Amino acid sequence: MPLLIRYLIVCHLAVLALDASSATWTATIERDHWGVPHIKGERDADAAFGLGYAQAEDTWQVIEASIPYFRGNAGRYFGPDAARSDYVVHWLGLWEDIAAGYDSTLAPETRDYIEAFAAGLNTYAKDHPTRVSLDILPLTGQDIIAAHMLRHPMFYGFEAAITELTGEQRARPVAQGTVIRDGIPQGSNAIAVGPSRTNDGSTLLIINSHQPLTGPVAWYEAHIESEQGLNVMGGLFPGAPTVGVGFTASTAWGATVNKPDLIDIYVLEINPNNDNQYRFDGEWRELERKEIALDVLIWGFIPWSVTETIYRSDHGPVMKTDHGTYAVRYAGMGELRQIEQWLAMNKAHNFDTWHSALEMNHIQSFNFIYAGQDQHIYFVHNAEMPNRLAGWNWQQYLPGDRSDLVWQEYLPFDALPQVKNPPSGFILSTNQTPFAISAPGSNPLPSEYDAMAGWQTRMTNRAVRGLELFTQHEAISTDTLLAIKHDNSYAQDYRGMGFLREVSQLNNPSAQQAHAQQVLKAWNGATDISNTSAPLGVCILRAEWLSESQGTPRPDPRSTLNDCIDEVVGLAGTLTPTWGEVNRHGRGDTHLPLAGGPDTLRAAYSSEEHGDHRHVTAGDGLYYLVRWDAQGQQDVQGVHQYGNHFDDPNHPHYQSQVEDFTQEILHEALFTAARRAPFVERRYKVSGDS
């Protein structure tokens, strides 16, 4: 070999060695035959880096489009509608909180983990520059924190409270007494069954959180492992660095949306001589005032900048309207440590360590439901619940002139409704009141918790029907539990069925209405794909469900009947198509019949009409059955609503699981290396530096 060539090879190898030694993070990714990434790194941060890279491979378009919303500059890219979201980010002061607390509040290992995850996203973007369409790079750990701070309040109803303020007149009176707010949940199921209730001494958990089926809060599936004790698999959102619902070898948990009263609105008394002063404890105080510039893209190509003024008081962000000046205080104000708690939950190895993670109380809401190899099952109505002054009606607006009404702390974790190993042997969490999640005698007792705190009182069909099904089975097998999870019926004593019976008994119907009433009277309440009464029946129930869940007036029965006749006939040309003809699931040209409907245990929410059918856009998505047998051996089965790739319709896993999902077929989660080995389709290493 010529000396010059040998010299060049040596130099090249030296450069490669230098590059390898300077790499900060390294992870190995195995892709199984469903496209799910199983990521392993030596350290937690290495695994986080690999997770960021793998997520970007599958969901880059969603992540890229989301980041401007978290930064408060979405209007620059997406126009005036997006600029409204930018205003909220600035109004809440999220980035001021991040600047003040990122280095001082977060544990160093949490920052290392988050920053490694962001580096994984950046490295993917660097490796694939043609996929990058917005000038948002580099992404930072602060971006990841901002995503959690902005996204979470929307789960417990923050948006609705603020929208109410922007109405034409004041929506609520100023408080004088005490009333419990009836929170309105949105969706999700989790069912735990302990060994005392199963037919074979096993411990079971159904993980079944309901989300939109596409977009930034659709479920992505991943498995993260390190040599520092991290080994967890489950569902997470694009851009999230930790598993939100999932399992380890010895623990598993689901989460369901809850909406206790976590938002308070104060009416400020403004100085008649100075509209930037408010009365507080007998004196006039200045509102903090800040000018913000919102960049807006006009007509899709003209950059524009608009200046707005935002205000803040001792209570929180302030909104000036034609009917008053209001301040808002909400759970999670200034809270940066959500990811820190999620990471602790991901690394827990038994009930005690998992429960200790919950006690950190950095996550503003969500019911959590646990089952484990240790044979424990557990439920908590988790919340950062404000510790409020007694004797006031916190459902209404509060006078803003008293500091004793501006709460500073949250109730301790043990003051939240919770139950461990109930005598019934099961827990059913479906967004209902926390005092009816099991059989009588096995629920948290309302008398043991602060009646004024604002706990939910609502029951869902999924709760009524699920509790009814448990009374029919003394011993629960795996197949029985799956049948409960896939149940697609409405309980006859569910609130909405009363409305449907009222519609079916209206007097003086027209000929078409009379035909529709006969269809409704013949309905058994099921939404199996061959059911010919379900299209009309679900339409009636959907109208009542939407009004009840949104707090709007109950719909008029006759108008609802007419509207639903028009809808069903308009879709199918007949009042009695099969449910599978009009309730469809899939992407692109794929649309398959799907059982289930709004607020059934087999949850399917449709919001779009596509010619001759409605397209299911939310509800059941990624879900699992986790089982430990009596000897502690684990088995996990699951299915994804589409497939684990979000971006490219031509990708093999864009909708590789659609048929299994519609047919309610689960497959092994391939959590262990030994079980996964025959099904690994690709194995590769990713590295990056800071």
Q: Is the peptide bond before 553 cis (omega within 30 degrees of 0)?
A: no
Low-confidence residues of the chain: pLDDT under 50: 1-22, 177-185
Separation of alpha carbons 350 and 375, rounded Å: 10
Structure tokens at 264: 């308070």
Q: What is the pLDDT of residue 175?
A: 62
H/E element, 367: strand 367-372
Place of tokens 């993917």: 124
Vertex 91 angle, CA 90 and 93, to 5°: 65
Decide: 579 and 534 in contact? Cβ < 8 Å: yes
Give, in order, the Cα–Cα distances in Å from 513 to each of 401, 502, 559.
56, 13, 11
**Distance between CA 614 and CA 596 in Å, rounded?**
13
Could you tell me the residue ranges of all domains in the chain? 495-600
pLDDT of residue 20: 37
Question: pLDDT by residue (tens digit) across 228-269?
Answer: 999 999 999 999 999 999 999 999 999 999 989 999 999 999
**Single-letter residue type at 190:** A
CATH code of the domain made up of 495-600? 1.10.1400.10
Q: Estimate to the nearest angstrom the gap between the alpha carbon of 473 and the chain centroid.
A: 31
Q: What are the tens digits of pLDDT across the range 103-140?
A: 999 999 999 999 999 999 999 999 999 999 999 999 99
Assign 470 to helix, strand or coil: helix
pLDDT at 186 (0 to 100): 52
How much of the chain is in helix, strand and coil states, percent to nearest 5?
A: 35, 25, 40
Cβ atoms of residues 575 and 540 within 8 Å? no
Q: Which tokens sit at 579?
A: 């449910």
What is the distance between the alpha carbons of residues 51 and 115, in angstroms, rounded to a whole number?
Answer: 12
Rounded-to-integer distance, Cα 247 and Cα 346, Å: 8
Give the pLDDT score at 182: 31
Amino acid identity, position 323? H
pLDDT computed for residue 12 by the predictor: 40
How far is residue 259's CA from residue 158's CA, in Å, rounded to a whole number?
A: 10
Q: Which residues of 302-326 are buried (b: 16+ CB within 10 A; e: fewer)?
A: eeeeeeeebbbbbbbbbbeeeebbb
Q: By the 8 A CB rule, do 166 and 91 touch?
A: no
Question: Exposed/middle/buried for 664, CB within 10 Å: 0-12, 13-18, 19+?
Answer: middle
Give pLDDT, residue 452. 81
Do the Cβ atoms of 662 and 213 come closer than 8 Å? Answer: no
What pLDDT, on a 0 to 100 scale, did the predictor assign at position 5? 38
